[in-house]
Amino acid sequence: MSTDQNNTEENTSQENTVQEKRLRKIRSFVLREGRMTPGQQRGLDTVFPKYGRSVEQGAVELDQWFARSGSQRVLEIGFGMGASLLEMAQAEPDVDFIGIEVHKPGVGHLLNDAIKADVTNLRVYAEDAVEVLNQCIADQSIDRLQLYFPDPWHKKRHNKRRIVQPEFVQTIRNKLKIGGQFHLATDWENYAEHMMEVMEVAEGYVNNQGEKQYTPRPDWRPLTKFENRGHRLGHGVWDLIYRRES
């Protein structure tokens, strides 16, 4: 092989590596930490060591983490300040809930409220959801995965940052049990259409309501204060539920 050919292949390899790194750096979220309140800090300092885990701890054994087996497992990505996730955990004490949120004030807020409410069926990660799914959550271990009101990245040039993309929904599929459900919700009609477009052709999924149909809000998803305000202003909310068939 000639030196020129070697150099060409080396340059191509370097370019591919740079491209891969650039793609890995694309994030579906922006960190806006802000200042911690005393309650939020208390949640992180005193409750997280018991109810939280990090990616660095590696794969989690859910029966051990929740100290019980046989329960349904629900995982929510991006729970914000955690009010609706806490409400769900309180409403279904026999179900185990896992929340993932990158914004630490929200994690601290949820944990502080959970301990005050004596909620024990809730665990959290303060990490990038993609890293948690890839490194910590076993395949076919989740009964329902929830993605409520993710950042819509509504400007067209930012659409690539939307978390709902073909590769991502296949990662979700791997974590769901057969028959498990992927529940999405958004208050941006354009994003709802994008979600539908991605999910309708996603391998291994079936729309619970039928082809290209949205679903009425299920009882398990609480109405948030922002959603209630949106309803008063005439804004729409779109729910989509797909189950893993294969």
Per-residue pLDDT tens listing for the chain (246 residues): 555 555 544 554 455 444 444 434 555 445 556 688 999 999 999 999 999 999 999 999 999 999 999 999 999 999 999 999 999 999 999 999 999 999 999 999 999 999 999 999 999 999 999 999 999 999 999 999 999 999 987 777 757 889 999 999 999 999 999 999 999 999 999 999 999 999 999 999 999 999 999 999 999 999 987 788 777 877 899 999 999 999
Domains and CATH numbers, the chain: 49-244 (3.40.50.150)
Cα 111 to Cα 99: distance, rounded to the nearest angstrom: 11
Which residues are part of a known binding site for S-adenosyl-L-methionine? 76, 101, 128, 151
Cα–Cα separations (whole angstroms), residue 126 to 82, 106, 107, 133: 12, 9, 7, 13
Which residues are part of a known binding site for substrate? 155, 187, 224-227
| Strand ranges of the sheet holding 205-207, from the earlier edge strand across to the other edge | 52-53, 122-125, 96-100, 73-77, 142-148, 176-186, 238-244, 205-207
Helix (H, G, I), strand (E, B) or coil at 62: helix
Q: Which residue, chain included where needed, has tokens 């994690």?
A: 107
Residues serving a catalytic function are 151
- State the SS3 of 76-132: EECCCCCHHHHHHHHHCCCCEEEEECCCHHHHHHHHHHHHHCCCCCEEEECCCHHHH
List of residues 6+ apart from 167 with CB closer than 8 A:
none
Cα 121 to Cα 95: distance, rounded to the nearest angstrom: 7
- pTM score, whole prediction: 0.85
Q: And the tokens for 47? A: 């409750």
Which residues are part of a known binding site? 76, 101, 128, 151, 155, 187, 224-227
Report DSSP letters for 153-190, one per residue.
--SGGGGGG-S--HHHHHHHHHHEEEEEEEEEEES-HH
Strands 73-77, 52-53: pairing is unpaired
Helix (H, G, I), strand (E, B) or coil at 235: coil
pLDDT digits (tens, 9 = 90+) for 64-119: 999 999 999 999 999 999 999 999 999 999 999 999 999 999 999 999 999 999 99
